Amino acid sequence: MAFPEINVNDAYNLLDEQEEEKTLFINSIIWLDKEINTVKENQQSQQQLRNLFPDVQIISFEAVFDSEEYVRQHNQDSLLVIVSGRLAQTLIPDIHDFNHIQSIYIYCRNQDPEKTWTSDFAKIRGIFTEMHQLVTKIELDQGRIEKTRESVSIVAFPVNMEGDSSLSVNGDLLQFQLLLDFLRKMDWMVCDEEDFLAFWTKKLSDTPNNISILNGFMNEYSPDRALWWYTRPTFFYGALNKALRQQNIETLLHMRFFINDIYDQLASLQQFQPHSKIRAYRGQLISVEELTGLEQSINHLVLMKSFFSTTTNRDLALFVLGDTAQQFERWRTRSIIPLKRVLFVIDADPSNTDNILPFADIGTNSYFPEEQETLFMAGCIFRISETRYDESEQIHLVTLELCSADAETKALLDGRKKHFGNDNSLITLGHILEETGRYDLSKTCYLKALDQLLNHKAPCFDERNIAVCYNSLGNIAELTKDYQNSLEWYKKGLEKYEETLPAGHKFIADSYRSIGLAYGRIGDKTRAFESLEKALSILRTNHGTIHASVAACLHAMGSIYLMVDDIHEVSNKAFELLHEALDIRQKILVKNDPAISSTLFNIGSVHRALGQFDEALLFYERSLNLKLKFFPESHPEVVKTYYTMEAVWKEKGDNEKASEYASKALRCHTHFLVLQHPNIIGIEHEIHSAASTDTDN
């Protein structure tokens, strides 16, 4: 059973399109100093703050009365206050307890600060004698508070109380970790550096300050400074985490070197840090609905899709929560969403290296070394062990324990890695995206790889990969119901394979199988079976009878029988072929391989065509359970299965059960369906028409 994704915080997602810009909870910076307009250092520092926070107004005052009057009149704003040491004890007691005062900083130029009285005022963030220290501290604190606004995409999925791993396998986890692992290992070429610069130059064309940062990055970046650049307050931080949450492949492709370098630095730091257990914290504002979801997920596993920034300093984590819930509500004008203050308490054991992604104290490598930040790699898995409300601190506590994926998920992940091999090319990325149902993106990868191959610009040229691209483009055409084009692509693939491979090679047989399926799709059953028989003959002669490609060929032949006008005449043959394919697949494939689910689905479809609805539902249910372990619930294959089961329940006359499965399908809200079908209501007919077979090509 898949569990819904929790996006912490959906309230902030309303502003997601602005996320790459620096957005603060403060509206204005109030600066009180009798010499504010006469000392050059003060004027230079104001300009520094304007550069850091261009959307924030900086208002200077020379008199306490004027500044206090402004604060009282602007009680709907969130204010940050800088005050000179001489005037601090006069102003601060009068304004400190106002809800709209976020933080206070005291600047004592040319004098030793008197600190004893400040302990009574929690909003005082420090006393500074050096202006550069003051500016850096403000930048650091605002960055911390900004992280309470940052969306943290969490995918939660349950395990049973006995620890049975079979329930914890989840397609979101599998596909995300597979994608992340591949991106880290993907080849990087000189032309990719040029593409990276062109990509960001285009995106940042309207922000000269960011262009300047980009140029600095291109000139100064090195792998050993990845964490320094990640923690520096630039567009890179927000853009990378947003791309991870949304799985924006274009952005991730251009930043894959950055992801890999961060991974390597975390792993290196972890190796040389103490191996004792740590406790870290993260303050977060989340909606009531999200908090309820977390409270109902005790003992569930959660996948963090983005990098997870924490601190070992509990007081620091509490500071960023502060009164920010109220300040956020005043600041955000687009809608009012009640927010709750949550403190995530994270327990992690660095000595447990059993397939756990790296995490480390990054202080020595951070842009802000004093931040005491512990960073967890994107893709880390946690278990929700406790949630409770602390009356004294008026915050909700959610305790997470770092853990690894279960044995079954590891086996599936290892199986897919083995399936894809060591090929870290665009073609393999296309295959991974194809498995996740992102057909447009996979097609783009195949076309780009084909262009590189035809123009001899590929990192490792192999003429056979031209045929791989042709066949892969044929797969996408078939999956998107462009059957005539799929046939043409498959024929081009076969032609190239026959030019470059010895007769009897498995890839040649696989091409004949694909061509056979394509002929079946356009209604030419005779040519379909001719091609499939040829494929099966090649395979059995050269590769034996117990082989994955033999099973795929038998499955394809059974699928063609499902397309005939009268299934009753050929049902025995269809059952024979599909069960033979199922037997082979269950013998040689990983337990939950998606190919097994495809054959189960088609056996169910034969039963359905014969009017054997109960038997059909049993096979559809088995197919669905396997698909949910391999694919995200939003995958087109899962949606198709839901709708097929809805149709069978209708045919049985049980409209209540039919409605249940229709609701499950509609609830998925996949990117695939939304992008392809803006009108969700119109999806049902198309899926019903395509739901009779799984081609498993």
b/e for 607-638, b at 16 or more Cβ within 10 A? bbbeeebeebbebbebbbbbbbbbbbbbbbbb
Q: What is the mean pLDDT of residues 242-266?
A: 90
CA angle 451/454/456 to nearest 5° reads: 100
Q: Provide CB contacts within 8 A for 547, sequence distance 6+.
A: 539, 584, 588
In this predicted structure, what is the pLDDT of residue 563?
Answer: 84
292 band by pLDDT with thresholds 50, 70 and 90: confident
Neighbours of 692 (CB within 10 A): 18
For 313, phi then psi, to 5°, come to -95, 105
In this predicted structure, what is the pLDDT of residue 15?
Answer: 34
Report the alpha-carbon distance of residue 192 to residue 561 in Å, rounded: 47
In this predicted structure, what is the pLDDT of residue 289?
Answer: 81
Residue 461 or 165, more confident: 461
Q: Considering only 119-128, 388-397, 601-610, which range has the smallest mean pLDDT?
A: 119-128
Residue 330 has pLDDT above 60, yes or no: no
Report the alpha-carbon distance of residue 264 to residue 223 in Å, rounded: 9
DSSP string computed for 149-180: HS-EEEEEE---TT--GGGT--HHHHHHHHHH
Q: Provide CB contacts within 8 A for 172, sequence distance 6+.
A: 2, 5, 155, 157, 303, 632, 633
Report the alpha-carbon distance of residue 449 to residue 428 in Å, rounded: 10
Candidates 529, 497, 520; CA nearest to 510 is: 497
Q: Model confidence over 439-462: pLDDT tens digits?
A: 898 999 999 899 989 887 766 678
In this predicted structure, what is the pLDDT of residue 462?
Answer: 82
Residue 6 has pLDDT above 80, yes or no: no
Residue with structure tokens 């026959």? Answer: 498
Residue 65 tokens, joined? 């009365």
Candidates 476, 471, 469; CA nearest to 433 is: 476
Q: What is the mean pLDDT of residues 555-570?
A: 86
Q: Are 312 and 279 in contact (CB under 8 A)?
A: yes
How many residues does this entry show for the chain?
Answer: 697
Continuous segment of H or E residues that includes residue 242 = helix 235-246
pLDDT > 90: percent of the chain: 41
For 323, phi then psi, to 5°, come to -100, 20
Bridge partners of 82?
A: 31, 105
Residue 313 has pLDDT above 70, yes or no: yes
CA dist list (Å): 676 to 176, 383, 672, 682, 686: 22, 35, 6, 11, 11
Q: Provide CB contacts within 8 A for 359, sequence distance 6+.
A: 266, 270, 348, 350, 374, 375, 376, 377, 380, 402
Continuous segment of H or E residues that includes residue 182 = helix 171-185
Report the alpha-carbon distance of residue 58 to residue 44 in Å, rounded: 13
Residue with structure tokens 């892969």? Answer: 472
Q: Are 408 and 386 in contact (CB under 8 A)?
A: no
Highest-scoring range by mean pLDDT, 54-58, 516-520, 592-596: 516-520
Q: Considering only 129-143, 152-166, 571-585, which range has the smallest mean pLDDT?
A: 152-166
Continuous segment of H or E residues that includes residue 346 = strand 339-348
Candidates 475, 447, 354; CA nearest to 407 is: 354
Residue 208 or 191, more confident: 208
Residue 13 has pLDDT above 50, yes or no: no
Residue 216 tokens, joined? 């600095």
Residue 173 or 79, more confident: 79
What is the chain's mean pLDDT, rounded?
82
CA dist list (Å): 570 to 118, 318, 601: 87, 69, 18
Q: Where are the domains of the chain?
A: 20-146, 153-167+275-411, 171-268
Report the alpha-carbon distance of residue 475 to residue 489 in Å, rounded: 9
Report the alpha-carbon distance of residue 546 to residue 170 in Å, rounded: 29
Q: Model confidence over 681-694: pLDDT tens digits?
A: 344 444 444 444 56
Highest-scoring range by mean pLDDT, 300-309, 337-346, 483-492: 483-492
Q: Model confidence over 35-85: pLDDT tens digits?
A: 888 888 888 888 888 887 877 889 999 999 999 999 998 877 788 999 998
Residue 243 or 207, more confident: 243
Q: Model confidence over 465-480: pLDDT tens digits?
A: 999 999 999 999 999 9
Residue 42 or 400, more confident: 400
Residue 196 has pLDDT above 60, yes or no: yes
CATH class as words, domain 20-146: alpha beta
604 band by pLDDT with thresholds 50, 70 and 90: very high
Residue 330 or 286, more confident: 286
In this predicted structure, what is the pLDDT of residue 160?
Answer: 44
